[in-house]
């Protein structure tokens, strides 16, 4: 059914004013225009909605029924407009973001803190998943955008390259005799190596690096998190491949040192992914722009 909200707006004005002339004044239109709109609506709905009395216009039984629903409908419209205004003024809303644990902790967290400080009334919801799972959530509409490890090749996505990551090999005091030395990939492979699990983006990148230099790596340990890689290296269980930025504290304190690898592992990048041709909410767009500012 084709709904003409203007007709219902006139109906509501007459019902509230109890008079065609007073309704015309309230709507800043002529009384004949009010009468014409009511006739149109009555023809559309199949019966009279008002009858005239010496005191003005009174609702019929059918008009009373219509008023209950139309009043609620316009109230909902007003509430919707109010909520949208609040969202545009960043007084409400929610932003859904996907990122793995490491990127959330070491990259995204400062932006979440800054956003929350600036817009405390907007809720932030972060879902921790791998990069592949984050992309799946994005396609399902469960998140607004995702922070993922690149490269990503997907025609459905808009991909913004964001920050570089530098993967390095680190060791603790047990391997202090290697500090300051320059090693080749083949020389490094002779030591106990600790890597992330095979399905991780970082592991795949490291594997491609060694394959490019015709070196086969058999890890001593395959772990599920960066924190474990750091802890295992600190305790001397082997030499861990970690992202340098995420082990900055341990490197600065001297608990770990970086092994000089020649050639060094090329930098990789993390990116921000959104769905093509799907507009973001005002809050999500604001959060995205905050991230992209640096």
Q: What is the pLDDT of residue 1?
A: 53
Q: What is the pLDDT of residue 2?
A: 64
Q: What is the pLDDT of residue 81?
A: 83
pLDDT tens digits along 235-246? 999 999 999 999
pLDDT tens digits along 26-52? 999 999 999 999 999 999 999 999 998
Q: Mean pLDDT across the chain, nearest whole number?
A: 92
Q: What is the pLDDT of residue 262?
A: 94
Q: What is the pLDDT of residue 56?
A: 86
pLDDT tens digits along 152-200? 999 999 999 999 999 999 999 999 999 999 999 999 999 999 999 988 8
Question: Which residue ranges form the domains of the chain, and what is each CATH number?
Answer: 5-88 (1.10.10.10), 94-164+270-292 (3.40.190.10), 167-266 (3.40.190.10)
User: What average pLDDT does range 88-112 have in this prediction?
Assistant: 90
pLDDT tens digits along 66-79? 999 998 888 888 88
Q: 87 falls in which pLDDT band (50, 70, 90)?
A: confident
Q: Does 82 score more than 90 pLDDT? A: no
Report residue 255: phi and psi, to 5°: -65, -30
**Residues 251 and 258: beta-carbon distance below 8 Å:** yes
């Amino acid at each position: 059914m084709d709904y003409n909200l203007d007709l219902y707006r006139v109906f509501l004005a007459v019902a509230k004013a109890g008079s065609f002339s007073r309704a015309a004044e309230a709507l800043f239109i002529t009384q004949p225009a009010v009468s014409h709109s009511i006739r149109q609506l009555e023809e559309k709905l199949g019966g009279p909605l008002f009858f005239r009395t010496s005191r003005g216009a009174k609702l019929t039984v059918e008009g009373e029924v219509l008023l209950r629903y139309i009043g609620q409908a316009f109230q909902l419209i007003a509430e919707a407009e109010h909520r949208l205004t609040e969202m545009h003024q960043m007084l409400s809303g929610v932003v859904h973001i996907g990122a793995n644990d490491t990127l959330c902790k070491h990259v995204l967290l400062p932006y979440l803190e800054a956003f929350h400080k600036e817009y405390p009334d907007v809720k932030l919801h972060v879902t921790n998943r791998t990069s592949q799972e984050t992309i799946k959530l994005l396609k399902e509409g469960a998140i607004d955008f995702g922070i993922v490890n690149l490269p990503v090749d997907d025609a459905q996505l808009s991909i913004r390259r964001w920050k570089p990551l530098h993967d390095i090999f680190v060791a603790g005091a047990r391997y202090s005799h290697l500090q300051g030395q320059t090693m080749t990939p083949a020389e490094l492979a002779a030591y106990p190596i600790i890597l992330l699990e095979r399905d991780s983006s970082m592991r795949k990148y490291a594997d491609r690096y060694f394959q490019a230099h015709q070196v086969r790596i058999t890890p001593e340990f395959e772990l599920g998190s960066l924190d474990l890689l750091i802890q295992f290296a600190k305790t001397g269980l082997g030499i861990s491949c970690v992202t340098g930025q995420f082990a900055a504290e341990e490197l600065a304190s001297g608990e770990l040192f970086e092994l000089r690898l020649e050639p060094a592992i090329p930098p990789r990048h993390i990116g921000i992914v959104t769905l093509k041709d799907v507009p973001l909410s005002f809050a999500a767009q604001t959060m995205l722009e905050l991230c992209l500012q640096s």
